[in-house]
Amino acid sequence: MKFWYQTNIGWQAFCLSPLSALVRRLTDKRRRQRNQTAYQAPVVVVGNLTVGGTGKTPMIIWLVTALQQQGIRVGVVSRGYGATQKVNYPVSLTAQSSVAQVGDEPKLIQLRTGCQVVVDPDRDCAVRYLLQQHEVDVVISDDGMQHYGMHRDLELLMVDAKRLFGNQKLLPAGPLRESMARLASVDFIVTKGQPSRELILPEALQLSYAANLTFTPPTNAEGKSLTEKTINLASAIGNFDSFVASVEALGFQIAERHRFNDHDFIPESILSDSKLPLVITEKDAVKINLENYPNLYVLKLDFELPEAFKVNILSKIEALIHEKSSHHSSTL
């Protein structure tokens, strides 16, 4: 909603403030009743404070890859939002798992990293199942910052650098899922891109890290790079405006823009009838047989993060793994 991101508090936010007060009471209650029973392996939550896309999926892919490069076995749990087929949870993804069964983001994470991924709306159940069925050293939760039925050992908060926290009001008066006070309890804050203005953070955090966005030129199913500069655009992601800005920054001119709700499937008519090359995201691409659409190109997004952040977060996770393994060994 546009009024969420206005500099001044609009009349809409003012009128909705009583509902925001109710949301705050509910979220505070859930947090007080959070699960404090630790698992046998550390759980790292990659989540956000606001609704909409903040770059959680590319952050998870970056983090999983960085851990794997250190020889650490990583598993991911996800709610599987956007799945349309009824399945018996929990589901451990295989190469045959479809987006309709498990959702687009878990499938993308599995394809990009090859790690074990378990889907279940009950994240506590997902973590327990993952640890029972697979040998992993650390679990990363795709979202789940506000899912307090799942214990967590470390929290990484993602923030969109352009929108930040909007008007800093709780839903529905603003975009926040929890109050700004929640910032004081997270371990890391990473912005997707360079912040549009200075972040005012709790003293305990001291600083945030900015992820630089890097893009591979859009390619089709044959691996052919897009050379034409005038294109059409289509996507079903949480932050469509960010996708538009990224494509324009690469020098493309957008003739038509087709925006759909997050996790939706792009309609067949849009995919097949485009007279110009049609550019989509990786998240959209996992739901489509690209070989059927030679005029369809996928923009791949990756993160580059400061070496200081990499050293800091990997050392914290490795320490947690060591602590958990030592405790587990002493109880055998």
Binding-site residue ranges for ATP: 50-57
Structure-derived torsion over alpha carbons of residues 56, 148, 64, 104, reported in degrees to the nearest 10: -50
278 sits in the region (left: phi over 0; alpha: psi -120 to 50; else beta) called beta
Residues recorded for the chain: 332
Task: Tell me the backbone φ, ψ of residue 204, rounded to 5 degrees.
Answer: -65, -30
Joined together, the tokens standing for residue 313 give 């977060």
Joined together, the tokens standing for residue 182 give 């929640």
Q: Which residues are annotated as a binding site?
A: 50-57
Q: What does DSSP assign to residue 4?
A: G
How far, in Å, are 152, 234, 244, 256, 300 from residue 252 at the CA level? 42, 14, 10, 12, 15
DSSP string, 160-214: ETTTTTTT-PBTTTSSBSS-GGGGGG-SEEEEESS-SS-----TTT---EEEEEE
